[in-house]
Every structure is written in C-alpha cells, then in structure tokens.
Chain A
Amino acid sequence: MMTRNAPAIQAYNSLSILRVMLTGLIGIMLTACAHQPATPSLYDSLGQKTGIENIVSRLIYEIGDDPTIRPYFEDSDLDRFHEKLSEQICEVSGGPCTYSGDSMVDVHTRMNVNEADFNRLVDLLIAAMDHQKIPHPTQNRLLSILAPMRGDIIYR
C-alpha cells in the first residue's frame, strides 16, 4: 500500500495522461492538416468529373431503390438533379466547375426533410461511393465538406 500523500501525485499523473492523450490527438490532427497539400486534391481522388458523375448516377440508383427517400424525388427532374449535384460536388471538391443550381435552402424548402432522412441520404451517398470504390478517407473528406450544409436542408 502506498503512503497517504499518494492522491496528490495520482491526480497529477492522471492529468498528465489526459494531457498526453489530448495533445497526441491534436498533434495527429495538425500533422494531417500540414500534409494535405502533398496529397492529391479531393477532386482528383473522387475521379474528377467522370468519377463524380458516376457516384451521382449510383446515388440516384440507390435513391430509386429506397422506399424512404424515393418519395422526396417523385416530382424531381432526375437529369437536372444529376447535373446540378455533380456540378456542386465538383466545385466543393476543388474541381473546375461552378455550381449553377438554386441555393440549398431554396431547393429544400417545403420538402420538410427530417434529421433521420437526411442521415439516410448520407448512408445512400456512402453506399454509392462504396460501390464506386472510393477510399474511406476520401469519402470522409467529401462528407466533411457537405456536412455543414445540413442546416440549410433539414426541417425547411
């Protein structure tokens, strides 16, 4: 058994370990950021224009197969959806495109997309990227760029 002033040392040690855990994580994150210029652009990793169009085609197939999400697209012009979403992904991933569609708020107003269905569409996008053999880290990079749009999309 240790002496009774041990708790002070123990508290100090545990704080040190917490600090090491957090600085370790932050360190890895900063390193990852610092290395990003060396890796190919997200646009390239997605397979450029053709790769992105193929992902969106597959996404439309997944949507058509999904009883929950399909109704949202019942009155949609799927060719236009394909064109505009491909353009948007091309632009946000750093490709040579300019999104020419309506704002996310305008597109989704009166659709009343709920939180669960938004996440379900994310699942379908992941399934589409899996099908197109997009690597896991590349998928996450795209999702991290698209995720902030959620506020403009749900419960409109």
Chain B
Amino acid sequence: MCRTAVHFFLLCCAATGVQAGEGKLLGTPGVTQLEGSGGGGIVPWATMAGYASRDETAISGFATRVNVDDYRLSVWGAAINLYDRVEVSFAHQNFYLKGAGSEIRQDIAGLKVRLSGDLVYTDWPQISAGIQHKMLADDTIADAVGAKDSNHGTDLYVVASKLHLGAIGGYNALWSLAGRATKANQLGLLGYGGDDKDSYSLNLEASVAVLLSRQWALGAEYRQKPDNLSFAEEQDWMDLFVAYLPNKHINATLAYADLGDIAGADHQTGVYLSITGYFW
C-alpha cells in the first residue's frame, strides 16, 4: 500500500517535471527523529525533512536504533517533503524488551506544516506545527500497565528553530524549541493516558547544536515526558549527539542517550545510531 503510494507519487513527479530536492544548504534539513519527523534525534525541528526548496519535492528514508540497558528500540520510516511547506512522514517502531524477550510495535503517521520563517535566512526562527498519530499493533502490554487507551493516540506540537550563521566564534549554531501536547506513555509504546492522568500534558523539547564544519555537528537534546501511569514513573529524556552530513544524499548520527527509568527499569542509558538517506 505504502509502496504503491510512493510509486504513484514518483510517477506524478516525473509527469509534471517537478525538480528533485537538492535546493537547501547542506545539513539544514537536520536528520530524522525517533517518531519519523524531520528534526534532531529525539525531538522534531521546524525544518521539513529532505532538501526540497519551495519549488521542489523530496523523499527520504531513515533507520534508527537505540540500545539501552534493558530495551532496544528499532525504528524505520520515510518522509515526503512537498515544496518545503508540508512534510508527510511514516515510522514503524519496534521496542524490544530484552528480559522478557517480547516486543511492542507501533506505527506513527506524521504531518508537519511550515507556518512561517526560514531556518537560515529570516531574522525570526522558522515556525512549524505538526501532528503525530500513533497506533499500537497490540494492546496487551499497554492494557497491563494501566493505559487508558491502548490502541491509538495523537500528539500535537508547535516548534521554532533557528540557525545562526557564524554565531559562536564563527561557527554556525542552531537551537530548536518545541511544545508538545501529548498523552503518550513512553512515546506511546505503553499506550496513551493512564490511571494517574488521562489529560494532555504540555511538554517542552529542545535541541542545541554547533556545526564544527559543513559536515560535522555536535549537540544536545532534552525532551520532557508526561507521567500518566501509577505503576512506574516516566522520566525526561536527553542525549548528546554528533552528526556527520557528508553530502545531500546521506547523514548519520551517533548519540549517547539517557532515557531515565522505563517501566520500572532504572536509569536506561545507551547508544543511539541513526542514518537518513535522501532518495529524491
């Protein structure tokens, strides 16, 4: 189904002579975050995934793995960029519980719209609004831990991002700040809403980065989390990352991730590795 849609889209692009997206400056789309949206590693940015300018379209795909003490999260997905205005994304998450040998699978459909500004060229930051609709494949674990909804949930966010040319001793610096309304427990892997709280939480998500060269970026991220379930506390996430963006076709991100306590397992830290490829 998804493949058919992509083929259809490529056919449309070929038919109308739409230019493939390479019209942005290297690195400015960022990378891909855990839920499939263009951004940093764990938080979305206001940038649209892919190198499409306002006259172009772009398609990208990504794969990410986060390996912490007791869990392993594997994600793959794709995003379509329409004229640097709209981003349509899909991500499939597989959360593996090492102790139990079981896994939780979730699909996420995302939509992001650029409302105003340009990451690089406007004085004000680029501002976008997005939605992530999350669907669990199986309700067993979410039900068991006390989630109010074990099928699906929807996150809404508004995000501002800005790149400052030569800001830190001549090096380019980026910041991004998002506000997210969410009920999702651990991204939604443990369902949505809970016995402690079933209303939306407003969480802040932030990234800062310094670009050491055209190809290398160094940064940190922080993501507030809701805490809806009584059986175990959910804690905020953070990471320190280095990203390598050699050209407009591929980039790779390596990070140290601190995901706090997850479902009663203490202080989950580990390695985050992600690759995004730009096909069109």
Chain A residues with a Cβ under 8 A of chain B: 1-2, 4, 6-7, 10-11, 13-15, 17-18, 21-22, 24-25, 28-29, 32, 35, 114-117, 119-120, 122-123, 126, 135-138, 140-141, 143-144, 147-148, 150-151
CA distance A25 to B53 in the complex (A): 29
- Do residues A1 and B166 form an inter-chain contact, with CB atoms below 8 A? no
Q: Report if A21-B173 is in contact (Cβ < 8 Å); known contacts: A1-B232, A15-B204, A147-B165.
A: no
Q: What is the total of A-B residue contacts with beta carbons within 8 Å? A: 104
Extra 8 A-B pairs, beta carbons < 8 Å, given A2-B233, A15-B204, A32-B169 = A10-B235, A18-B204, A21-B208, A24-B208, A28-B173, A114-B55, A115-B84, A137-B166
Within 8 A of A (CB), among B191-243: 196, 204, 206, 208, 213-214, 220, 222, 224, 227, 230, 232-233, 235-236, 238
- List chain B residues, Cβ under 8 A from A144: 164-167
Report the minimum CB–CB distance from B213 to chain A (whole Å): 6
- Do residues A22 and B208 form an inter-chain contact, with CB atoms below 8 A? yes
The A contact surface, by secondary structure, is helix
- List chain A residues, Cβ under 8 A from B171: 136-137, 140
A136 CB contact (under 8 Å) in B84, B120, B170, B196: B170
Q: Which of the listed residues B166, B233, B264 has the most CB atoms from chain A within 10 Å of its own CB?
A: B166
Q: Report if A115-B53 is in contact (Cβ < 8 Å); known contacts: A14-B236, A143-B166.
A: yes
B173 CB contact (under 8 Å) in A25, A35, A119, A126: A25
Report the minimum CB–CB distance from B229 to chain A (whole Å): 11
- List chain A residues, Cβ under 8 A from B55: 114-116
- Asked if B24 is at the interface (CB within 8 A of a chain A CB), the reply is yes
Q: Which of the listed residues A14, A29, A32, A147 has the most CB atoms from chain B within 10 Å of its own CB?
A: A14
- Asked if B155 is at the interface (CB within 8 A of a chain A CB), the reply is no
CA distance A92 to B227 in the complex (A): 53
Chain B residues with a Cβ under 8 A of chain A: 19, 22-26, 53-56, 84, 120-121, 164-173, 175, 196, 204, 206, 208, 213-214, 220, 222, 224, 227, 230, 232-233, 235-236, 238, 264
- List chain A residues, Cβ under 8 A from B26: 123
Give me 11 A-to-B residue pairs in the complex whose CB atoms sit less than 8 angstroms apart, sorted by A's number.
A7-B227, A17-B222, A21-B222, A25-B173, A29-B167, A116-B23, A116-B56, A119-B23, A119-B53, A136-B213, A143-B165
Report the minimum CB–CB distance from A28 to chain B (whole Å): 5
Report the minimum CB–CB distance from A9 to chain B (whole Å): 11
Q: Report if A14-B222 is in contact (Cβ < 8 Å); known contacts: A6-B233, A114-B53.
A: yes
Instruction: State the 7 A-B residue pairs at the shortest beta-carbon distance, nearest first.
Output: A137-B170, A116-B23, A140-B166, A144-B165, A116-B53, A115-B53, A144-B166
CA distance A35 to B168 in the complex (A): 10
- Do residues A116 and B264 form an inter-chain contact, with CB atoms below 8 A? no
Report the minimum CB–CB distance from A18 to chain B (whole Å): 5
- Do residues B170 and A138 form an inter-chain contact, with CB atoms below 8 A? yes
- Do residues B222 and A126 form an inter-chain contact, with CB atoms below 8 A? no
CA distance A6 to B238 in the complex (A): 18
